[in-house]
């Protein structure tokens, strides 16, 4: 049972190989069949389904006691003990259109806390990884959050396109942030946005609703790189959908102060 750093370190290279293979599978399915899910602009493709099947089948033997909490399965909840928290493709809309940012996200949660995280950018072939207490890496190289002050910061955000009632608050917050920072970005993959904050390529991120498989793995990578993450109200948890705010230590509090008031009524 993977309970300590040594055991997680033994698990990581095996999980890395599986995630890279899932990436190759996704890359081989460039023009997939597309299905519509409940809500606005919410899609799943045969590539999402193939990637998830591959991940479930290959990760299961690594940790037989672990439960799966994955986007494209029907019964979805976190249980006590170990859970693989999986998004087989984060950025499905991008993937369908050939708009680059999209990733495979695999987190391992033990008793509610993320202990292992892998996010693989399937186009750039960059694998972001972290073990709790062991630092954060991109393709094996250590990464660190930036130290840029807010006035020079790049801040990314998500639009929660399936919750149109949040558009007013989201774009008011974006305008406020934009007027205080260097510039803003919107990629379409929350997992990669969070990893970019971890790698110091960007300084902060927010989105008003994300699901645990969107942020679980990246939240550990980001914290192991020295950045901070929370909901609109308090500490981040991996058991339910929530707003996510993240940033380098230099901008996190200021970003929270700018964004939170816009969502006060929600
Ligand atoms: P996805 O591509 O895996 O669906 C875009 O704003 C971000 O929100 C992406 O990370 C996207 O992940 C995620 N997302 C898409 N649909 C969602 C939904 N219904 N609930 C929560 N997050 C969602
Ligand atoms: Ca997805």
Architecture of 150-263 per CATH? Answer: 3-Layer(aba) Sandwich (3.40)
Instruction: Report the top-level CATH class of 5-142.
Output: alpha beta
- Does residue 186 line the site of ligand 1, with CB under 6 A? no
Integer-rounded Cα Rg, in Å, for the chain is 17
Cα 91 to ligand 2 centroid, rounded to whole Å = 6
Q: Which ligand is nearest to the CA of 43?
A: 1
What pLDDT was estimated at residue 140?
98
| Atom 12 of ligand 1: nearest residue by CA position | 90
Closest ligand by atom to 49 CA: 2
Q: Of 87, 85, 80, 86, give the one whose Cα is nearest residue 65.
A: 80
Ligand 1 contact, 170 CB (< 6 A): no
State if pTM tops 0.75.
yes
Angle separating helix axes 5-27 and 46-59, nearest 10 degrees: 150
The token duo for 180 is 């205080």
Q: Ligand 1: does its nearest atom lie under 6 Å from the Cβ of 129?
A: no
pLDDT at 43: 81
In the chain (266 residues long), the average pLDDT of successive 10-residue segments reads 79 98 95 81 88 98 96 89 97 94 98 97 98 98 97 98 94 98 98 98 98 98 98 95 97 98 88
Q: Is 99 in the pocket of ligand 1 (CB under 6 A)?
A: no
The alpha carbon of 150 and the centre of ligand 1 are apart by a number of angstroms equal to 27
On the question of a common fold for 5-142 and 150-263, the answer reads no
Query: Please, how many CA atoms are within 13 Å of residue 151, restricted to the half-sphere of its CB?
Result: 0
Tell me the domain boundaries of the chain. Answer: 5-142, 150-263
């Amino acid at each position: 049972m993977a309970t300590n750093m040594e055991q997680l370190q033994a698990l990581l290279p095996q999980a890395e190989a599986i995630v890279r293979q899932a990436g190759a599978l996704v890359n081989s399915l460039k023009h997939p069949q597309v299905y519509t899910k409940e809500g606005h602009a919410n899609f799943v493709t045969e590539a999402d389904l193939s990637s998830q099947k591959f991940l479930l089948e290959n990760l299961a033997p690594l940790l037989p006691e672990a439960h799966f909490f994955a986007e494209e399965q029907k019964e979805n909840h976190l249980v006590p003990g170990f859970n693989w928290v999986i998004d087989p493709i984060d950025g499905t809309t991008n993937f369908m259109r050939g708009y680059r940012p999209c990733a495979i996200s695999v987190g391992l949660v033990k008793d509610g806390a993320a202990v292992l995280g892998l996010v693989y950018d399937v186009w750039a072939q960059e694998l972001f990884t972290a073990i709790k207490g062991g630092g954060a890496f991109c393709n094996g190289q250590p990464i660190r959050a930036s130290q840029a002050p807010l006035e020079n910061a790049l801040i990314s955000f998500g639009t929660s396109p399936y919750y149109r009632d949040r558009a007013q608050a989201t774009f008011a917050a974006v305008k406020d942030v934009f007027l205080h920072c260097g510039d803003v970005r919107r990629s379409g993959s929350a997992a990669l946005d969070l990893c970019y904050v971890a790698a110091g390529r960007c300084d902060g991120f927010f989105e008003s609703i994300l699901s645990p498989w969107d942020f679980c793995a990246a939240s550990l990578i980001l914290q192991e790189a020295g950045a901070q993450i929370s909901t609109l109200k308090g500490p981040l948890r991996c058991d339910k959908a929530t707003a996510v705010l993240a940033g380098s230590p230099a901008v996190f509090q200021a970003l929270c102060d700018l964004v939170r008031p816009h969502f006060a009524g929600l």
